[in-house]
Structure 1
């Protein structure tokens, strides 16, 4: 902040303007100090734009007298220089513990370079004040969690969408993130406990990677492990398939999208070059082709005459 009290006392020209009301805080006299070389100038918050005289190209520092927590104080913008006809928008001065009612201030030097106007938020509103910022932290009420021992093996999705925490988020324990979910994308993990929060039906899992605890994660971030095998088979799509063809095995580590409806290929013969069995199921999924073109993965229950 530029300060030169000797220069100000010698060169200061004061003009008294009309009284104004500050957001119901009472009336007062607005004082504008003309801007001469290397000076600080101050205007009081008002309801009409202020014109401050000053020579273009001269460095100055603008002050604004307004209510700060109900007390009249002067806050200062950083030093600046304006060219004739120049417009400059800057952030409001920061006051520790307080927030300004305006987000920005715009200084506009006139074309002749003899002075500038100052407005806030790009409008003529001069009702600027600073209000105290609440530092009170809001705490979410914790919920009870039902824990159940498990012995599961799963894989983390390639795009898990969730992270690992030291406890179930929202429980009575203070929680913090210990690992990003993507750090273990595609990895096979083991699970020895699950927690379901009151009011929910879906669990969080306590996970381990290579025997090391990596934290709790929401169930949708992990899937049952799938085992893939290269095969050379043929099959026929049944007349009334209940499932469709996807770009990847559904409920796998991959993000899937629909490629074809199953009924589109009903009664059609397909060739198969890969199968996958998801842990916990017996029927494989198959990657199918028609006339050499891949049509996608489908659950084996929609195929017949597999050989």
Structure 2
């Protein structure tokens, strides 16, 4: 494996591996799924819009199927997990990629603030419901996509997790992306005694995808104008996720992102996350709250501290 300028040419053979990729009909998820499938993996596009998912699957060369998954509904998550468990006795890769960004104040079907509910709680529940298909598989991985936004106005507001008292698009997004990292690190501690599955995180830098569609109009216009100067395409943005998922040297608890200035763009490398993301007391508290809110418990013992 090349140590610098890691590209999709460096992806090891994925034949025999089963990968579930959420939000895979467009952008980063599509590119992640494409790369895995083209290197031999059996890939499931877990998407909200089944027709768009089928169109995406048709554009990918390889063994690709589509699964309906709406991360804003715990009922849909449970149904999708049942389908995936029935179809796949083993899962090698779970890529928690889907997400929303800077949305107006909305709630999920279960009453969660949309960004926290989709980006964190939905993936928390899905991971817990599928974990017993990963645990028996040596080398299996859960890769969760975070963001540099985990540093921006980011804290877990346990006194108002659903932003009912006041709402900030950026603050809610930052909370959800910080939660992705807190979840990854706590999950890794709980997985470590099993010795088979690891949890890894990644971020895409600033990638030119549809994720910006919910930003306020003035900001979206500005970002659209400067995007060609500071962003990278979705293929480059997906590389940290793909490296976290496939590089034999990647380890549990790591965080991968672009190697360029400010981690905005570039080739994937190991990066660091904020001190807040490493607060073990917050990780443990978020885990307990997430289990309570979703009703999903993991087949794992509490982490040894």
Higher-strand-fraction structure: 1
- Taking structure 1 as the reference length, the TM-score comes to 0.19
- Which structure has more relative contact order (CA 8 Å, sep 6+)? It is 2
Higher-helix-fraction structure: 2
Question: Which structure has the bigger radius of gyration?
Answer: 1
